[in-house]
Structure 1
Amino acid sequence: MKKITLVLSIVLFTIAGAFAQIEKPVTWAYVAKKTSKTEATLYIKASIDNRWHIYSQNVKSGGPVKTTFSFSPSKDFSLVGKTTEPKAIVKYEDTFKMNVSYFEDQVIFQQKIKLNKGVTAVKGKVEFMVCNDKQCLPPEEVEFSIPVK
């Protein structure tokens, strides 16, 4: 009888653990490409699971948390302009009672930098919010380090 109880307990905990998985519908990838001896472009790619979306950097206040990039200051490089993004999907969302700009499937953000040193690593973080048609997950911050060679 004790063995049956133990086996049932293990099965129940395994099933409960499977349902308690933390959702991570966005994965990030980073690469830098030198465009000259003193300049490079950072490519920051978000791969987004089916039926989910992340928001543009250009969302008005009162809406969802917009995607924001923060770069750690360094003497090795300086930012050139702002982080750019492709044209976003614009749609009215009842949840926020406004038009919002967002991306599905994947999006590649770009940041140009001026190099003061030939080899460096650009460190920073991205804050973003992800939603689908049923729910929004809390905003998340992901740190990154992009080698520039």
Structure 2
Amino acid sequence: MKELDRLDRKILRALQKEGRLTNIELAERVSLSPTATAERVKRLTRDGYITGYMAVLSPDKLGRTLLVFVQVKLDRTTPDVFDAFADAVKRSDDVMECHMVAGGFDYLVKARVAGMEAYRQFLSEVILPLPGVRETHTYAVMEEVKSAGLLPV
């Protein structure tokens, strides 16, 4: 795998901020020919630096106004419980992210729901029935201060 150079980094920064750039627009921004730019984007994708493209949607417009983080502690930390928990979480459309963490609990779940009533339903129908769940702590977000999702390149 080739090391990233200055132009690769410029391409990654531009696409990360605005993934819908045409190849010509991208080429102009990074001061390369369209052909050279397209080849670099292909290589960056093939090498796994670019893993996909998506639109960022408005949670408010889609009725998903409540953002919650849920700490989950399992009753057993065995491979079969971890696997079953992960499989179940992946099936929930409300879960945006789920991370196994080190520390005082096992998983941190990020979810978006319509409101507190929807959250109660999510907790009782999705989180609590998950395999091995012993305890949860929920943190409802009052204000999103930063949600960039951009990696430093």
| TM-score bracket, shorter-length normalisation | under 0.3
Higher fraction of helix: 2
Higher fraction of strand: 1
Give the TM-score taking structure 2 as reference length: 0.20
Give the TM-score taking structure 1 as reference length: 0.20
